Chains A and B, each alone.
Chain A
Amino acid sequence: MEEKDENPPFPREPWQKLLKDANDGPSDTTDARIRAAARRDLAPRGRRWWLPASLAASFVLAVFIVQSQFGTLRMPVATESGGAGGTMEARIIDREEADAARPAGEAPAARSKRAAAPRDEAEEDAFGYQDSELAADSAGSGPMIGGPEHDLQAATELPDEVMASELPAPPAAETAAAAAAAQPDDLPDSIASNGERLRREALPHSATPEAWYAEIERLRAAGKHAEADRQLEQLKIVYPGWLEQRAENLKKEERL
Chain B
Amino acid sequence: MAGGDADAQLMQRYAAGDARAFDELNTAHRRGLWRFIRRSVQNAAATDDVFQECWSRVIAHRDNYRPEARFATWLYRIAHNCCMDHWRKSGRRATRETADDDAVAAAADEANPEPLAAALEGEAGERLAAAIERLPEEQRAVFLLYVEGGLSVTEIGETTGVNPETAKSRLRYAVGRLKQALGTDAPD
Name A1-50 residues within 8 Å CB distance of B.
1-5, 8-12, 14-16, 18-21, 24-27, 30-31, 33-35, 37-39, 41-42
Which of B16-24, B79-87, B94-102, B103-111 lies at the interface with chain A? B16-24
> Chain B contacts of A34 at CB under 8 A?
26, 52, 55-56, 59
Closest CB-CB distance, A13 to chain B, in whole Å? Answer: 8
A9 touching B188 by the CB < 8 A rule? no
Q: A12-B150, A15-B147 are in contact. Are A2 and B72 (CB under 8 A)?
A: yes
Residue-wise, chain B 128-165 has the 8 Å CB interface mask toward A (1 for contact) of 11001000000000000011111111110000000000
* B126 CB, min distance to chain A CBs, angstroms: 9
Contact status B128-A38, CB under 8 Å: no
Q: Which residue of the partner chain A has the closest CB to B128?
A: A18
B interface, over-half SS: helix
Q: Which of A12, A18, A35 has a CB less than 8 Å from the CB of B124?
A: A18
Q: Are B26 and A1 in contact (CB under 8 A)?
A: no
Contact B187 A18 (CB under 8 A): yes
Inter-subunit contact B125/A5 (CB<8 Å): no
Contacts of B128 in A (CB 8 A): 15, 18-19
Q: Is the CB of B147 within 8 A of A19?
A: yes
Q: Decide yes or no whether B30 CB sits under 8 A from chain A.
A: yes
- Determine whether B88 belongs to the interface, using a CB cutoff of 8 Å to chain A: no
- B119 near A: Cβ within 8 Å? no
Chain B residues contacting A41 (CB-CB under 8 Å) are 59-60, 62
A16 and B125 contact, Cβ closer than 8 Å, known pairs A2-B5, A9-B153: no
**Do residues A30 and B48 form an inter-chain contact, with CB atoms below 8 A?**
yes
Chain A residues with Cβ under 8 A from B62's Cβ?
A: 41
User: How far is B124's CA from A20's CA once the two chains are assembled, in angstroms?
Assistant: 11
Q: Give Cα A31 to B124, complex, Å.
A: 29
Asked if B70 and A2 sit within 8 Å, CB to CB, the answer is: yes
When the two chains form their complex, are residues A19 and B59 in contact, meaning their CB atoms are under 8 A apart? Answer: no
The reply to whether B52 and A33 form a contact with Cβ atoms under 8 Å apart is: yes
B147–A12 touching, CB < 8 Å:
yes
Complex contact B52–A2 (CB within 8 A): no
| Residue with the highest number of chain B CB atoms closer than 10 Å, among A3, A10, A14 | A10
Contacts of A8 in B (CB 8 A): 152-153
Contact check: which of A9, A24, A27 meets B31 at CB < 8 Å? A24
Measured in the bound complex, the distance between the Cα atoms of B155 and A11 in whole Å is 16
Name the one of B14, B34, B150 contacting A24, with C-beta atoms under 8 angstroms: B34
Q: Which of A3, A10, A14, A18 contacts B150 (CB 8 A)?
A: A3
**C-alpha spacing A19/B147, complex, angstroms:** 9
Contact of A1 among B22, B30, B72, B153 (CB under 8 A): B72
Task: Flag if B72 contacts A38 (CB, 8 Å).
Answer: no
B7 to chain A: closest residue by CB: A2
Are the CB atoms of A4 and B155 closer together than 8 Å? yes
Contact A38 B19 (CB under 8 A): yes
Are A25 and B34 in contact, CB atoms less than 8 angstroms apart? yes
Which of B5, B31, B152 has the most A CB atoms < 10 Å from its CB? Answer: B152
Q: Which residues of A contact B38 (CB under 8 A)?
A: 24
Q: Once the chains are docked, how many angstroms separate the CA of A38 from the CA of B62?
A: 10
**A38 pairs with B152, CB closer than 8 A:** no
Q: By the criterion CB–CB under 8 Å, are A42 and B154 in contact?
A: no
Interface residues of A (CB under 8 A from B): 1-5, 8-12, 14-16, 18-21, 24-27, 30-31, 33-35, 37-39, 41-42
Binding site for A on B (CB under 8 A): 5, 14, 17, 19, 22-23, 26, 30-32, 34-35, 38, 48, 51-52, 55-56, 59-60, 62, 70, 72, 124-125, 128-129, 132, 146-155, 168, 171-172, 175, 187-188
Interchain residue pairs with CB less than 8 A apart (30): A1-B32, A1-B72, A2-B72, A9-B153, A9-B171, A9-B172, A10-B175, A12-B150, A14-B187, A15-B147, A18-B128, A19-B35, A19-B132, A24-B31, A24-B35, A26-B30, A26-B34, A30-B51, A30-B52, A34-B26, A34-B52, A35-B19, A35-B23, A37-B56, A37-B59, A38-B14, A38-B59, A39-B22, A41-B59, A41-B62
Other 18 A-B pairs with CB < 8 A, given A9-B175, A42-B17: A4-B70, A9-B146, A9-B168, A12-B147, A15-B147, A18-B187, A19-B125, A19-B147, A20-B31, A21-B35, A21-B125, A24-B34, A31-B26, A38-B23, A38-B26, A38-B55, A41-B62, A42-B14
